[in-house]
Structure 1
Amino acid sequence: MENLSAGIRKQWFLWVFRGSACLYFTTVIFLLFVLFQLADGSWLMRFEFFRANEILVMISWLFILSAILSIVAVFTILLFALNRHFRVILQWAWFIHLIGSVALLIHVLVQMLVYPPLMEVAWETTDPSIFNYLDSWEKLLIPIVSVFVPSCWAISGLIYTAIMFRTRNFSHHFNWWSLAVWGMVLTGAVIFRWVGSVATFWQGAAILLFIPWVWFVAEDLKPRLKN
């Protein structure tokens, strides 16, 4: 019965991790072909793109929200699957990850709820002060999504990775893979001040490496929830 229970948990883990990997991949597609287009050019150009592709933009934002919740779920599962002797440290790492996720969640909600009506007003009135207001919002939000969120996720991910090295259920192949991913994310957050968008692409490359990690690590994961 214990073996059956462990097998069921492992299948559930496999479903969550692989479903998350598919969700991340789909989210990246929407980011590349929809939201990057929305973030390019003047505010009037952005609003024209939004009006022409409103449904796609809203779907893209919903995918991002789902991906945020999904990565929190992945880190939560890992919290209970890794070496229980380091549970307190993992809880702190999970909380750091949660802070970054909530910040990104707020960023997306601002884009969904604040930007569209402001762009609508700017389109109808062509009031320059509206564009200045939008610029102020963007200057406030860019460091959050480019520095603060990646820093939180990277610090949390590196702590998790350290515990993975102390967990017999994880192969060193996945441990070093995780170290590379979160090291790249943290490096991008550090150098963003000097290289700007180049750091964003660097972090994007790290996320692309994270997707197959989530897909394959589920097979290697042997749940320790009973502990």
Structure 2
Amino acid sequence: MSTKLSVNINKIAVLRNSRGGDEPDVVRAARVCLDAGAHGITVHPRPDARHIRADDVLALAELTREYAVEFNLEGNPFAPPRAGYPGFAHLCALARPAQATLVPDSDGQLTSDHGFDFARDHHALPPRIAELKALGCRVSLFVDAGDPLVEQAAVVGADRIELYTGPFAAAHAAGDADAGRATAMLALCADSARRAQAVGLGVNAGHDLSQANLGDFLRGVPEVLEVSIGHALIGEALYAGLEATVRTYLAIIAAASRS
């Protein structure tokens, strides 16, 4: 099994919005990633439209249909609609992404930094998940590595989980100074993946994965179906170019698969 790479292009939209206008063009950037071999595109439109907007979502949906690749739309299913943001389920109804990844982030949150609380959300999630699955979306839930209730993702109706890899990435970046924690976090990710797979869930992963840590992650965690990578990849592309950076990630994934 080879892990698929979905490139998150939110940061392209951040740069565009910082100046106004249409440059850099998020659709053109996504096309470069797909021409380089990426298996899909991910975006996380937020209610404040601080990067990806609703019109971007529709344009990217068209592009991914053109390329016959997966479109992964992330968002909080409980965030209410407002001007410029029609709500996550409505966006999915318009764009029909292959995958809807549900994330419990608040409006003002800088980035997604924790998974769902299944003890709190186990009653609220099933109807939202059922609504998305009725649209033909595969549903993935953002979860913390080591969550003792990870199996609840299957109970509430999800198809997959996405492991939040931020703590692993932070420990990995510390190198020898935090090698023990990196090993422990990788073990937590692997254990959560196995427990999820044991109840029929697929496993995705994302957040702060990079060229420096992706190989170690994939060698340590079994049968990861997809990694969603944006912040590090776009940052690295400033130096090496977007096409070359995507190809480097694909080579890392291939090497990890062989090992």
Q: TM-score range by the shorter chain?
A: under 0.3
Of Structure 1 and Structure 2, the greater helix share is in 1
Output the TM-score relative to the length of structure 2.
0.24
Output the TM-score relative to the length of structure 1.
0.26
Larger RCO (CA within 8 A; separation ≥ 6): 1
Of Structure 1 and Structure 2, the greater strand share is in 2
